[in-house]
Structure 1
Amino acid sequence: MPHRLLELLPRFGLEPGRPAPEHSLPGSPQRCIERFALADAQGRPWMLERIRPEAAPRRERLGALLRTLAREPGLDGVIPAYLPVGGAGPECGPGSGADGRTGVEPGSQPGGERFVLRLPVEDLAGEALAGCWMLSPFVSGPALPQPGYLDHAWRGAALAGCILALQRAGAALPALPLAPQSSLSAFRDDFFRKILVHAPDLAPRLAAVQQALDALEQAVEAMPAALAHGDLHPLNVIWGREGARPVHGLIDWEFAGARPRLYDAANALGCAGFEHPSGLGRGFALGLVRGLRQGGIPEPELRLLPLFALFTRLGWLSEWLRAGDAELLALELDYLDILLAEREALAGLWSAGA
C-alpha cells in the first residue's frame, strides 16, 4: 500500500520518491482515517492523510487558512500548510528553500485552490486509493522532554509569541473563521447535562467546578475574540532548541477558529499543570504568561487564566470518560480540585506577568 500511495504525489505537484516509514508522525492519528510518511524525489518528507469525507468541507477551509497564515510575520516557517491539489510547492518545511517557500510568488494570495484530493473508486482502478487525501510537510524536531520542559521558560515565551502572532494574523483577515463548538457556554452546559445522564456519580464532585465556571462565563464572553489554534498544548508543538528558532511547527489545527483570545494560553497552561501541578508556577508557565503580558494582554484578563484553564480541562475530562480510562479520570478530578483551590494564588502570580 505505501508504494501505491506514491502515485498520489504528482496530484500535488511533486515527483514521487519512496515510502518514508523511518519518520514517526507527530500529533493525533485519530483526526484522520490513516496517515503515511512519504518522500518526494528530492528526499523531502511529507505526511499524507486520508480524511473522512464528511470532514472534507471544513478541511478545505482549513487548508486555505493555513496557506494564508504561513505567509504571516511571526508564523512563516512554523505553519506546515497543506499543499493545494495540482501543486504550488511547499509553503514551509525543511529543505523547501532558503526562505521556506517554493513555487509561490512573494506576497501572492491563495485563490480558488483546493486542498482535498477526492478520488472516486474508478479514478485509479480500485479501492486502495479511493477517498479524500491531504498532503502537508513533515516537520521534525527534538523530542519534548517530559516533565523537564516545565522548567523551560524559553518554551513558554516562544509559545506566547506564536499565540500573539496568530492573533495579529487573524486581525488582518477579512473575517475570523468560525471554530467548532465556538460557544463556550453551550459547551459547558452540554458537558454538565451529559454528566447528569451518563456519569451522575460525578455530579457532586464537579459541583464546585460548575459553580466556579458560572462566575467565569460573563467575563469570558466579553473577552475580545481572536484567531486561535484551538488545541494548543506542548505536544502539538514541534520544538526546536533554545535560541533563534525555538518552534519548528504547530500541528493539529482541526479546531482552529475564533475564540476568546486567552483560549490557547489557557489550554497550554492547563496541560502543563496536568503534567505536574507544580508546573503551574514553574518556568514554562511563567515564561508564557510573561510573554502575554509583554505582548499587551491586560492584567484583568490574565487574572482569568486559572479559571479559563479549569474550563479547558472539561474537554480532557470528556476524553477520559469516553475512553473509559479510570486512572486518567481520577487524576483529572484531583487536578480540577487543585485548580479550584489555587485559583486565586495563580491569578495573582500570572496576572503580574511573573
Structure 2
Amino acid sequence: MLCKAAYKTTIEIYIFLHSHLVVLPMTKVQQGTGEYLPRKEDCLAAARKFGIYAKKIRGDIPLVGSPERSAFRTAVQNEKNELYILESVFVHGIQRKEQIACSLDLLANHQLQGIVPYLPSPDGGHLLHDEHGYWLMSAYVPGEPLKRPDYAFERWRGRAFADFLLSLKKKAALLSIKSNGPFFSIASYATHIMEDLKQNDPEFLPWFLPFFQQLETSFFPGHDVLPRWFCHGDFHPMNMIWGKDTIKAVIDWEFSGIKPE
C-alpha cells in the first residue's frame, strides 16, 4: 500500500513542477516537431479523404497536449465551421498509434465519458496513408484554461479525477484491451530520469534527490507488485480538456496500457 508520506511527496513534486513551468503561446511551427511541415493543400486534401471537407487551416487555435507526440498537427475547419484536429504521424509510430486508436474506440463504444475517438479512415482503420505520409483525425474539443497553480487546490477537479479513473477501470475490465508492449515500471523510469539528470544536469540533482529518495524507500518497493489494469499512463491535469465543472476529454494516451493501478 502506498504510504501517506510517499503520496504527500508525490503531490509536492507535482505542485512544484507545475507551478514553476512557463507556458508559451503555441505557434503553427510549435504544433509540430519541425521534422515535417506539410503544405496547406496537403492538410486539406488529407482531411477530405477522411470525409471532412475542410476549407481552412486554423493554425491560430492553440492545441492542448504534447506536440512532440506527432510530426505535425493543426486544427482544420469545415464548411459548417466545425473544427477537427489533423495530425501527421511519425512513420516509426504508426503501429502504436493504431493500437491506441483501437483502445479508444472500445472505450468510446462502451460509453466512457471523456473519450474522443479518432475518425475512421477509408480503409476501415484509423490511419490514412497518402503520398505525404500517415494521418490521423479527431474532433476538436474546446475547453477552459487552467490557472496555475490555483487549479491544483480546487477540490472538484480531484473528484472529477477519481470519477474518471473509477469509470475507466470498470469499463476496461469488461473489454478485451491487451498490453501493447513490455511492462512499464514507473520506478525504473524514475530511476532512469535521475541517472540522466546526474549525467547531464548535475547542478539540479540536489533539488530532486530528497524527493526521489523518499519514493525509493516508501513507494517503489510495492509499486510493481500492485494489481494491473488498463491505465492511461500519463494522467494529470494538463492531459485533460476541462469544462467549467467537469472533464470534457482526456487526451495523450501514448503511455496507456496494462500497468499497476
Give the TM-score, by structure 1 length. 0.57
Q: Secondary structure at the match of 2:44?
A: helix
- 1:88-107 superposed matches below 5 A: none
Q: Larger deviation: 62-71 or 5-14? A: 5-14
Using a 3 Å threshold, how does the CA distance of structure 1 residues 65 and 151 change in structure 2: closer, same or farther? Answer: same
Offset from partner CA, 1:175-218 (integer Å, 9 cap, x none): 43346771234324433443454445666665544543144223
Shift of 1:48: 0.5
User: Which residue does the alignment assign to 1:240?
Assistant: 243
Question: SS of the counterpart of 1:66?
Answer: helix
Higher RCO (CA 8 Å, separation ≥ 6 residues): 2
Given that residues 179 and 255 in structure 1 are in contact (C-alpha distance below 8 angstroms), is that contact kept between their aligned partners in structure 2? no
| 2-structure distance, mates of 1:150, 1:211 | 24
| 1:83 equivalent in structure 2 | 119
Residue 72 of structure 2 is matched in structure 1 by 34
Task: Report the CA distance shift for 1:17/1:260 in structure 2 as closer, same or farther (over 3 A).
Answer: same
Aligned-partner Cα distance in 2 for 1:149–1:255? 24
Are the counterparts in 1 of residues 58 and 77 from structure 2 also a CA contact under 8 Å?
yes
Which of 161, 164, 170 is equivalent to 1:159? Answer: 161
**Any stretches of 5+ residues in structure 2 without a counterpart?**
1-38
Q: Does 1:72 align with 2:110?
A: yes
Tell me, what secondary structure is at the counterpart of 2:126?
Answer: coil
Inter-partner Cα distance in structure 1 for 2:233 and 2:70 = 17
- Cα distance in 2 between the residues matched to 1:43 and 1:170: 34
Partners of 1:131 and 1:116 in 2: how far apart?
Answer: 10
Following the alignment from structure 1 to structure 2, what is the Cα–Cα distance between the partners of residues 62 and 52? 14
Relative distance call for 1:13 and 1:64 in structure 2 (3 A) is: same
Determine the C-alpha separation between the residues in 2 that align with 1:249 and 1:37: 16
How many angstroms apart in 1 are the aligned matches of 2:182 and 2:50? 28
Q: Which amino acid aligns with 1:255?
A: F
- 1:171 is displaced (CA, Å) by 1.1
Quote how far apart the aligned CAs of 1:25 are. 1.6
Instruction: Kindly state the Cα deviation for residue 81 of structure 1 after the two structures are TM-superposed.
Output: 1.1
Matches within 5 A, 1:243-322: 246-261=246-261
Q: Using the alignment, how far apart are the partners of 2:153 and 2:210 within structure 1?
A: 30
Distance, in Å, in 1 between the alignment partners of 2:83 and 2:208 is 46
Conserved 8 A contact 2:54-2:78 = yes
Q: Report SS of the residue matched to 2:56.
A: strand
Matches within 5 A, 1:101-140: 113-120=124-131, 130-140=132-142
Identify the residue that residue 171 of structure 1 maps to in structure 2: 173
Residues 183 and 258 in structure 2, CA contact (< 8 A), matched pair in contact too = no
Partner of 1:142: 144
Change (3 A) 1:179 1:83: same
Structure in which a larger fraction of residues adopt helix = 1
SS at match of 2:258: strand
Q: TM-score, normalised by structure 2?
A: 0.75
**CA–CA separation in structure 2 for the residues paired with 1:81 and 1:198:** 38
- The answer on whether the counterparts of 1:2 and 1:36 sit within 8 Å (CA) in structure 2 is no
Cα deviation for residue 160 of structure 1 reads 1.2
CA RMSD of aligned residues (A): 2.5
Q: Which residue does the alignment assign to 1:60?
A: 98
Structure 1 CA distance for aligned equivalents of residues 120 and 220 of structure 2: 40
Change (3 A) 1:3 1:203: closer
**Residue aligning to 1:336:** none
What whole-Å deviation, never above 9, does each CA across 1:35-93 have from its counterpart, x for those lacking one? Answer: 111122332210111111001110010111111111234x23x2111112118xxxxxx
Deviation string 1:136-155 (CA, Å, 9 cap, x unpaired) is 11110121222332342112
Letter matched to residue 87 of structure 2: E
Q: Which has the higher strand share?
A: 2
CA 1:224 to 1:237, structure 2 compared with 1: closer, same or farther past 3 Å? same
Larger radius of gyration: 1
Q: Deviations over 1:224-247 (max 9, x none)?
A: 1122212221121111122xxx12
Conserved? CA contact 2:99–2:180, under 8 Å: no
Q: Distance in 2 between matches of 1:197 and 1:167?
A: 38
Q: Is the 8 A contact 1:9 1:40 kept in 2?
A: no
**SS, match of residue 147 in structure 2:** coil
The separation in 2 between residues aligned to 1:160 and 1:201, in whole angstroms, is 37
Asked if 1:44 corresponds to 2:55, the answer is no
Larger displacement relative to structure 2 (178-187 or 228-237) = 178-187
Aligned-pair identity in percent equals 28
Contact 2:103–2:177, Cα closer than 8 Å, also in 1: no
